Amino acid sequence: MNKVLIIGAGGVGNVVVRKCAQVPEVFGQIMLASRTKSKCDAIANAIPEAKIQTAQVDADNVPELVALINDFKPNMVINVALPYQDLTIMDACLETGVHYLDTANYEPIDVAKFEYSWQWAYQERFKEKGLMALLGCGFDPGQSQIYVAHAAKHHFDEIHYLDIIDCNAGDHGKAFATNFNPEINIREITQNGRYWENGEWVEIPPMSIHKPIDYPNVGPKESYVLYHEELESLVKNFPTLKRARFWMTFGPSYINHLMVLQNIGMTSIKPIKVKGIEISPLEFLKAVLPEPGSLGENYTGETSIGCQIKGIKDGKDRTYFVWNNCKHQDAYTDCKAQGVSYTTGVPAMLGAKLMLEGVWMKPGVFNTEEMDPDPFMAQIGKYGLPWQEEIDLVLPHEY
């Protein structure tokens, strides 16, 4: 019987626990561990039909993690704490001989910079130990790359242009809140944008390229070019890409709030001293904003995330669009969660399932597009995120 240790009792952690509990034939025993044990207990107590064990752990501390893993003896760890903890959890997995999966790439706490180099550097060590680490298996990163792998396998000989388009057309009723960890979210949006074009990265000021994109069942929404981590692995694994961009929607009210916060210095990650305590303004801001896991109940609307691709098939131009729409209220009904936590946690569970079943299991460190997309695409709908595709349509982007 497989045992899984889930680390991080936030919005995504709640979904991963609930989805794993829905598949007891694969996840025979589940432990949820996080910095604040009461949050693990609250999640476990809300799922009385499953016996979820809980524990306190500081995931920045490798010996603490090793002791917990040695005690519970899981087959794998699903890391849905923060990107800052990726390397310590990978170290603990190597030391204890346990497989690893996460949903966001490593970021050092003192530099808002995210890239895969740190985690890719673990390749040989995981391989030597016969262990697997699957990186970024949420929606984007995660399902977005599996969409590209599916397109490349079934619909193209070569892919040339990729636009990942991510829309949250939802309303949580709060003046300002982020849909995943506020610190990570704001660090992502306030840094320079970046996209891949003709073999190099093009860097742009934050939020400086934007336009309305028409999302299925939602309509046109202003969308902004951001740097997103899956672009790094996609251009490496699909070297025929001439351009790869990532677009995300933000409403005017969100942007106004963000601009004010930025202008007054509240998004800075540089620690300041207040009454003798060192804290960064962004850490303080996170403490006053609503927790992502608390937004679900009255959230209306839906998310729409997909990949628009142009390339060549049988010597002819081909266009392709694959996407999922997820209603926040459906996420709440299934998992007492909002759609962003849900669309992250469901692929994480399915990735872990495919690893534990041996379908995706191979030693080394991998991004999701390096896996066979077929078993994932065949099952993800059943677990809550059905996809649709359209071939040879007119794409709105200039090529």
Which residues contact ligand NDP (rule: CB under 6 A)? 8-13, 34-36, 39, 57-60, 80-83, 85, 103-104, 136, 138-142, 180-181, 184, 291-293, 340-341, 344
Nearer to ligand NDP, 9 or 131 (CB): 9
Instruction: Tell me how far, at minimum, the Cβ of 157 lies from ligand NDP, in Å.
Output: 29
Q: 52-56 and 76-79: which strand pairing?
A: unpaired
Q: Can you tell me which residue has the tokens 């677990």?
A: 383
What token pair was written down for 76? Answer: 């794998």
- Furthest CA-CA distance within the chain: 68
Number of H helices, E strands in the chain: 14, 18
- Residue 284 one-letter amino acid: F
What token pair was written down for 77? Answer: 């760890």
Instruction: Tell me how far, at minimum, the Cβ of 359 lies from ligand NDP, in Å.
Output: 21
Q: 364-367 and 132-135: which strand pairing?
A: parallel
Instruction: Tell me how far, at minimum, the Cβ of 53 lies from ligand NDP, in Å.
Output: 16
Instruction: Tell me how far, at minimum, the Cβ of 198 lies from ligand NDP, in Å.
Output: 27
Q: By Cβ distance, which residue is nearest to ligand NDP?
A: 10
Nearer to ligand NDP, 109 or 209 (CB): 109
What token pair was written down for 27? Answer: 């996840």
Nearer to ligand NDP, 11 or 311 (CB): 11
The DSSP symbol for 370 reads: G
Nearer to ligand NDP, 37 or 125 (CB): 37
Nearer to ligand NDP, 140 or 311 (CB): 140
Instruction: Tell me how far, at minimum, the Cβ of 325 lies from ligand NDP, in Å.
Output: 15
Nearer to ligand NDP, 181 or 304 (CB): 181
Instruction: Tell me how far, at minimum, the Cβ of 185 lies from ligand NDP, in Å.
Output: 8
Calpha distance 253→161 (Å, rounded): 31
Residue 107 burial (C-beta neighbours within 10 Å; 0-12, 13-18, 19+)? buried
